[in-house]
Amino acid sequence: MPTDDSPTEHRHRRVTSFRSRRSTLSPGQQSTWDRLWPELGTEARDADGHPAPALDTTAWFGRSAPLVLEIGSGTGTSTLAMAQAEPDIDVIAVEVYRRGLAQLLTGIDRAGVRNIRMIRGDGVDVLEYMVASASLTGVRVFFPDPWPKSRHHKRRLLQPATVALIADRLRPGGVLHAATDHQGYAAHIAEVGDAEPLLRRVGESDPLPISVHRPVTKYERKALAGPDITELVWERRP
């Protein structure tokens, strides 16, 4: 049986980039979840394991605006801060673990933020089935699991096929922004992104349609004495 926070098994099993884990919500988180999730959240797959249909983001957000997809939003610290800084951009946060989404929901509730929606599930499912080609202004992937052991490298999210899928879903001029503190994974991401013909590497100071300046998270502050953070930014070619 799947745990509360494990995804429903795919009919065709795919190597996933995340680890299953159990988590429970506090009473306050559960209350916020029950109140807000039906409006602000959805699942990438239904109870029978079927992919969700394509998103109607205009109806979901109640407006038409540039759209950013964040894959692996964790507890949503960066998600919330960046959405607050860019209220004219709509953000969809994708996360497997319910506790992280619940923490983001709590932050949204406290801050009164209106431009974030959430999907619980596998980011590749979301890209494949829920997002149309050339519909995204940005994709953010911050600190994906590096799977450091060589035998686990196939589990890394940012493989050529996934980067090609991301590039297809970006509008011309749209941005892929990745960040990692694992130098081996940084080299891998750089190689894969640079090899994708639809993408062109750009710098953080280049004029871009969305911000690529992340807030420093608690995770990063704890790791200041550790590895450097590598930021990698590409734009979709015209």
Left if phi > 0, otherwise alpha if psi is -120 to 50, otherwise beta: which for 128? alpha
**Strand order across the beta sheet in which 116-120 lies:** 41-43, 116-120, 90-95, 67-71, 136-142, 170-180, 230-236, 199-202
> 70 among the known binding-site residues?
yes
5 is in an annotated binding site: no
Instruction: Check the annotation: does 185 bind a ligand.
Output: no
**CA atoms within 13 A of residue 24's CA, in its CB half-sphere:** 2
128 is in an annotated binding site: no
Q: Quote the tokens at residue 224.
A: 């200041």
Q: Do the annotations mark residue 4 as ligand-binding? A: no
Identify whether 125 is a catalytic site residue. Answer: no
State the catalytic residue, choosing from 145, 194, 206, 228.
145
What are the distances in angstroms from CA 19 to CA 9, 48, 98, 168, 217? 13, 21, 13, 27, 22
Judge whether 219 is annotated as a binding position: yes
145 is an annotated ligand-binding site residue: yes
The answer on whether 217 is annotated among ligand-binding residues is yes
Mark the binding-site residues for substrate, compressed into ranges. Answer: 149, 181, 217-220
Catalytic residues: 145
Mark the binding-site residues, compressed into ranges. Answer: 70, 95, 122, 145, 149, 181, 217-220
